[in-house]
Amino acid sequence: MEQLFSKITKADTYATYVNPQWVKLMDLLEMNVQYEHCTGAELLTKDGRRILDFLSCNCVMNMGHNHPAIIQAVKSELDLRGPTMLPNHVPPMAGLVAEKLCHQAGGKLHRVYFCSSGSEGIESVIKFARAHTKRSGIIHAQGSFHGLTCGALSLMDNHFWKGSFGPFLPDVSTVSFNDLEALETKLAARTAAAFIVEPIQAEAGVRLPQENYLREAQRLCERYGTLFVLDEVQTGMWRCGPFLAAQHYGVEPDMVVLAKALSGGLVPIGAVLMSEKISNSVFGSIERCMIHTSTFSENALGLRAAAASLDVLERERLGEKGRIQGEKLRHKLSGALTGFEMVKEIRGLGMMTGIEFQAPRRFGIKVSFETFKAIHPGMFGQVLVMRLFADHGIIAQICGNNFMVLKITPPLIITDEQIDHFVTSIKTVLRQMHDSDISWADAVGIARRALLSKMF
């Protein structure tokens, strides 16, 4: 076992058998370190560094890494030696978790379909919406991120992700986020089965909905017979304060997709919450009771982890704690970063925050900024991420569909001291990037090494 472990921790084995380009990128950004022990918001590396997680694996670790209660639940499920997966069986734990989810969600959401990831949840809502409405069209919002399977990818407009993977689903149309007129024009054709939207577009740059946007969108969907579906894969599970961001914005979706934080980062699981009517349209007879499923749907370990995660988040009141700490974080960031010309806006809800940057106006740094942006549009953000990691031991990430926004999504348990460390660190890095060429030298280094390894 020891021998096997020492072999699997070697990055070169990964590069040989899994993905050499990923290893190259991690090396390039000087982030290719081995983690030994992760608890709460802290990650200990093999060489003794303490790293603070301000990303939470894109909103997976809402309760922090390796929460002891969730680990215990998974261990005891394994010790039971019960039916981990049994096709001819009604698993009581699925009923219990579904009941908890529906109870927390409220509104029209009375039935649950379990799956194993966010993308699979999106694939499911596309099918369910079509079965229920007998229409084929799907409307999505520009800038969205819904996952990288073919159906989910069809609902995204960023060419980077779609590239060579087409053709995609027909009858899909895109509207600008926050544009109700465009939405109504599409809906008025009465061919759309669903409007699928993230309540806050995380990867588009932590884009918040305008006052009334989601409520009006729901009303318009109802008027034209289209289902109003929320992708809460990042925003749900108390990330934005309440259980669902929908509850903050006062909307009642017909379906909601959850995944990521649903099982505390330990076992893959996702869930589609829907109305009884939709569920009946899909699974409405004995003949159709398994018309949509997948092998790991309702597996005992995932469900047990989900039950424990829901318990922890609720019992420790992490939504409320995250909301308070998130407001503190934005308040402190606003105080610390005013005056930096590259900082355009700090925005967010609950424990999801974005810092939007803009091109500098001063000649000296403007030239460096534009030069490196021309090499790769994400260069500015990557330098920032690199410096935060290398000099301050912080993991953060720029948004997948907007390289000018740093997404800050630490676990909901983040402390005042950890927030202070983050704020001081980002202020220091930004000061360096505004005042000197030191940080831009990193960009030169990245560009040189990347060009040498033909990455751009």
Which residues contact ligand PLP (rule: CB under 6 A)? 58, 117-119, 122, 145-147, 198, 202-203, 231, 233-234, 259
Provide, rounded to whole angstroms, the least separation between the CB of residue 98 and ligand PLP.
Answer: 19
Closer residue to ligand PLP (CB): 137 or 147:
147
Closest by CA to 62, choosing from 348, 320, 256, is 320
**CA–CA gap between residue 91 and residue 96 (Å, rounded):** 9
- Name the token pair of 308: 């424990």
Q: Are 255 and 128 within 8 A, CB to CB?
A: yes
Provide, rounded to whole angstroms, the least separation between the CB of residue 402 and ligand PLP.
Answer: 13
DSSP code per residue over 42-92:
EEEETTS-EEEESSHHHHT-TT-BT-HHHHHHHHHHHHHT--SS-SSS--H
Provide, rounded to whole angstroms, the least separation between the CB of residue 270 and ligand PLP.
Answer: 6
Closer residue to ligand PLP (CB): 206 or 412:
206
Neighbours of 279 (CB within 10 A): 19
Provide, rounded to whole angstroms, the least separation between the CB of residue 175 and ligand PLP.
Answer: 17
- Name the token pair of 379: 């260069």
Provide, rounded to whole angstroms, the least separation between the CB of residue 158 and ligand PLP.
Answer: 13
Q: Which residue is closest to ligand PLP by CB?
A: 118
Q: Are 93 and 307 within 8 A, CB to CB?
A: yes
Q: Provide CB contacts within 8 A for 384, sequence distance 6+.
A: 398, 406, 426, 429, 430, 433
Query: What Å distances lie between residue 70 and 299, 308, 444, CA to CA?
Result: 16, 5, 44
Provide, rounded to whole angstroms, the least separation between the CB of residue 126 and ligand PLP.
Answer: 12
Closer residue to ligand PLP (CB): 202 or 383:
202
Provide, rounded to whole angstroms, the least separation between the CB of residue 352 and ligand PLP.
Answer: 11
Closer residue to ligand PLP (CB): 117 or 275:
117
Closer residue to ligand PLP (CB): 135 or 146:
146
**CA–CA gap between residue 138 and residue 307 (Å, rounded):** 32
- Name the token pair of 294: 């997948």
